[in-house]
Structure 1
């Protein structure tokens, strides 16, 4: 049995769902453009540079979820999928997922982006298992806080190993383990698997991949 892990943003997707969700809310008039657009861009640049403060970002990203009813958020998300997400789901990414699924590999999307945004995207890719940053809920509504360990940098390793333990498994349970990612932020988890794959990598990840002889591919 093999395990295939996929980062989502700028890996399976040719864009960033976290960033685009905020942009979508700005375009809908839900968030004030003057207040939120510059912050959204700044956080995105910090993420790409590997300097993101995850607590500050999650406060920015999750608080808007607490200001609106879940039913309305779900309706907005359907439009978000149509306008923003599906155009970022390319044929090469779909084919990669299909290859692993047809081989019988356990497939998991593991992403820092919150599970409200990403769960419908995982379903669209046909991937059953999702490990994401979890927004806290109370009585079915979002509180604006995070629940548990954010799935970011070393937190991805923590969340991944916790998920395996819940299934009575460990890394040794699999003959091969893949992780596909574009980002330097995923170096901790990339270093854990037997088959790390850099997908359209940022400059820092590309250097690491080339030094270590990791596979480098493009899904664009």
Structure 2
């Protein structure tokens, strides 16, 4: 297992979850952009531009840096605390109704076993970290945002947690973590996460896109069908 730091008996497992379209029936970044337009913080033109770029995501060839240059513009000059307040409203209004209850149940299943649960997402940390906390994850890895004197600059920093970047960031996380794991589960819906799923020893394709579904069938991976019942987490 590529992401395994050691294998020993009586150690917990590590459970890695993608976020968008895996634990929630939506893309949190797209919902956020639409929310900012609703709040008149961003212009409607940004939503159209975001949707056009996102169309390439399902094909596995989205230019993530170009996407971020566009979608992070509304954060430029904003205070971290002000954005945190806005994100809290966003989670209540947009994210909680989109949660896959099966996904939440799977997180709880891992936690009852004593496993470590981490969400690894190609969405920015200002959204992923509070969403991960709300879902009960132990930690989260996301695209890191640059700030200066507690103000967002609109730039990113470090390795982007996208495609192979997720594996790179996970390896760095494991290297900085003192816990030793027996093995690693991985859950995702997207072909973009093929590097991550190939790096774990227990891969699961959750509501997979057509390309990932075909790959999962060829590799005899478990395919999970999580239905959205629109129940709001309270």
TM range (shorter): over 0.9
Match of 1:40 in 2: 50
Secondary structure of 1:13's aligned partner? coil
Match of 1:194 in 2: 201
Q: Is the 8 A contact 2:69 2:154 kept in 1?
A: yes
In the alignment of these two chains, the number of paired residues is 216
* TM value normalised by structure 1: 0.94
- Which stretch has the larger CA shift, 157-166 or 55-64? 55-64
Secondary structure of 2:216's aligned partner? helix
Q: For 2:34 and 2:132, how far apart are their aligned partners in 1?
A: 20
Q: For 1:149 and 1:28, how far apart are their aligned partners in 2?
A: 31
Gaps of 5+ in 1: none
- Which stretch has the larger CA shift, 8-17 or 71-80? 71-80
Q: Pick one of 52, 61, 68 that aligns with 1:51.
A: 61
Runs (4+) of structure 1 exceeding 4 A deviation are none
Q: Using the TM superposition, give the Cα deviation of residue 168 of structure 1 relative to its aligned residue in structure 2, in angstroms.
A: 4.5
- Which stretch has the larger CA shift, 204-213 or 132-141? 132-141
Gaps of 5+ in 2: 1-11, 228-234
Q: How is 1:102-113 mapped onto 2 (pairs within 5 angstroms)?
A: 102-113=112-123
Q: Using the TM superposition, give the Cα deviation of residue 89 of structure 1 relative to its aligned residue in structure 2, in angstroms.
A: 1.3
Match of 1:152 in 2: 162
Q: For 1:46 and 1:67, how far apart are their aligned partners in 2?
A: 29
* TM value normalised by structure 2: 0.89
Match of 1:60 in 2: 70
Does 1:217 find its partner at 2:224?
yes
Answer 1 or 2: higher relative contact order, Cα 8 Å, separation at least 6.
2
Q: Is the 8 A contact 2:77 2:151 kept in 1?
A: no
